[in-house]
A and B are shown apart, each in its own frame.
Chain A
Amino acid sequence: MTAGGTLGRICQDGEVVIRQGEAGDCLYVVQEGEFEIVHELDGRETVLRVARKDEIFGEMGIFEKAVRSATVRARGAGRVLTLDKKNFMRRINEDPTLAFRVVETMSRRVRQLSDQVAELTRELQRRGTGQP
């Protein structure tokens, strides 16, 4: 991956874009490669999902005034574009349909989370009843 005609930030394998617990007021769009979203708790890491080309991440940081809820790092070489909060909000104010893609992304994630919750619930029930 070269810098010549590329836009955005080029990331090496394992490079951290967002760090859990830090404050942040911008969001990102994956331009190339894959980025894993990792939750850290008591020194243990859980990979929540992987963001791929054209996917937006970090949006929670601009809609909520809370610290980053997860770490995002490159899985292999990748490239992300940073979106400024001010520009993003200004555009949404003029053109609310710009938020459709963010809503669609969040909707997809809620669906994935619902599936995961259902799967975990089934797993717990199986363990509780001693079924294989």
Chain B
Amino acid sequence: MAVIGGGPAGALFSYFLLESAARMDLRLEVDVWEAKGTFATPGPGGCNMCGGIVSETLVQNLATEGISLSPGVVQRGIDSYQLHTDVGSTRIALPVEEMRIGAVHRGPGPRDVKDARWESFDHHLQGRALERGATLVPTRVESVVREADGRPRITGKDGTSRAYDLVAVAVGVNSTLLKIFEGLGIGYQRPTTTKTLIREYYLGQEVIDRTLGSSMHVFLLDLPRLEFAAAIPKGDYVTIAVLGEDIDGEMVDAFLAAPEVVACMPPGWKAGDRSCQCMPQISVVGVEQPCADRFVFIGDCGVTRLYKDGIGAAYRTAKAAARTAVFHGVSEQAFRAGYLPVCRSIAGDNRIGKVAFLATRVARRFRPLRRAMLRMVAAEQARPGHLRPMSGVLWDMFSGSAPYADIFLRMLRPAFLGRFLWAALASLWPRRAGLPIASPTGEAP
């Protein structure tokens, strides 16, 4: 079996394939083709361009699978979200009192990394796959063809050429290799994508401890074309992730100059002093046909979650594909029965997610709704032990901890809508309502 792409989807597919095969007493050989090798080079050469958040559900799922993330990989445990808007900020704490969200670097670090104190997340997962028995083929794939008997043959830049029973494609959506698969006549068409911006700033661990802390900072600002933005504190760096329409320098500059952003960063911080930047594509609509005879597309190049928890979706699709290959076979029919339902479940949930994100977009446009949202969260967070409907909805939206369908149903509950309506009305008369709007740092004034 071959896996093209050694990031989380490819590494987890290899790991689960070999684990399931061992349980069934099957002997499999798995080659992982990865041009970036072991993700050991700082900067673009070893990075897979991602915000680097391991969601609460993924941390739990991996731990259940026996894949615990050590402090050598997790640069910072995230225990809360700070929601920043132009009408104030508020802190949403983790539902349980422990850190269950991990901030990581996918590679060894940005281009200017001085002291690589943490292991790359992708390197760590790849290591687990290699420990299980997978073999790394550290060369670029030049061609993939189907032989007369239908078996795929991969040829690398270094001349290595092998035929396989199955090729699992886990190359993301920024790979030039997608063109090869679109031309293979297996019905594959790459996902619909949009551009994001990911930027790294070196601040040093102590400064981050004092300023951003262990909170992920989420910004809902009424700026043209901006959908969503976040500042993710890591070990020595903070990662800025921006999502929106037609992202360009002007839009990013406007965002970074916003007072809500500047207030989160340390005094003297300059938006131009960046360490690293990339503008990768992310998938917003997955592929219709993520499988064919002896081919399966996992992770971002197949179907992933909308805007959030891409690594979590990589885990789910990788495991479903591996399980199908071991227990049902590698034919298109087998993948349609065992793999496609998981992809359809993610895609269906994304459709509901679009509606849920539309609601946050509306809130971003109308100030009274933002006030109402903050007011509800502030009231809920001040009363521990009570129901926290708005905090829960926002937490799950930002962290990707629950399916969008689940979040959306909670948003439609009469009690939720009633409370929100009350908070919206109360926010029109802030003095009489008696609830303070939190300050930009999330603290009550």
Interface residues of A (CB under 8 A from B): 2-9, 29, 31, 53-54, 56, 81-84, 87-88, 91, 94-95, 97-98, 100-102
Contact = CB atoms under 8 A, between A and B. Distances in A.
B68 A95 contact: no
Contacts of A88: 60, 64
Interface of B: 20, 23, 57, 59-61, 63-66, 68-77, 96-102, 118, 205, 214, 235, 316, 319-320, 323, 342, 345, 401
Given A5-B76, A7-B69, A54-B66, A91 B100 contact: no
Contact of A81 (B60, B72, B214, B316): B60
A83 B68 CA distance: 13
Contacts of B101: 7
Nearest to A6: B71
Contacts of A102: 64
A87 B70 CA distance: 22
Given A6-B77, A8-B100, A54 B68 contact: yes
Contact of A4 (B69, B76, B98, B401): B76
A87 B60 contact: yes
Contact of B64 (A3, A4, A53, A101): A101
A95 B323 contact: yes
Nearest to B345: A94
Contacts of B75: 5
Contacts of A31: 63, 68, 70
Contacts of A97: 20, 319, 323
Contacts of B401: 87
A7 B323 contact: no
Do most interface residues of chain A lie in helix, strand or loop, or is the interface mixed? Answer: mixed
Contacts, number: 89
Contacts of A95: 316, 319-320, 323
Contacts of A94: 316, 342, 345
Contacts of A3: 77, 99, 214
A2 B77 CA distance: 11
Given A4-B71, A9-B97, A84-B60, 20 more contacts: A2-B71, A3-B77, A4-B76, A4-B77, A6-B71, A7-B59, A7-B101, A29-B68, A54-B63, A82-B98, A83-B60, A83-B64, A87-B57, A94-B316, A95-B316, A95-B323, A97-B20, A97-B323, A100-B23, A102-B64
Leading 5 A-B pairs by shortest Cβ distance: A9-B98, A29-B63, A5-B74, A5-B71, A6-B71
A8 B57 contact: no
Contacts of B60: 81, 83-84, 87-88
30 contacts: A4-B71, A4-B76, A4-B77, A4-B205, A5-B71, A5-B235, A6-B77, A7-B74, A7-B77, A7-B99, A9-B98, A31-B68, A53-B68, A54-B66, A56-B64, A81-B68, A81-B98, A81-B100, A82-B98, A83-B60, A83-B63, A87-B57, A88-B60, A94-B316, A95-B323, A97-B319, A97-B323, A98-B64, A98-B65, A100-B23
A86 B30 CA distance: 34
B355 to A, nearest CB: 21
A35 to B, nearest CB: 14
B219 to A, nearest CB: 24
A82 B70 CA distance: 15
A6 B57 CA distance: 16
A9 B71 CA distance: 13
A29 B64 contact: yes
Nearest to A86: B402
A108 to B, nearest CB: 13
Contacts of B68: 29, 31, 53-54, 81
A84 to B, nearest CB: 7
A121 B302 CA distance: 57
A83 B60 CA distance: 6
A120 to B, nearest CB: 31
B80 to A, nearest CB: 13
Contacts of A5: 71-77, 102, 118, 235
Contacts of A6: 71, 74, 77, 99
Contact of A91 (B20, B61, B235, B323): B61
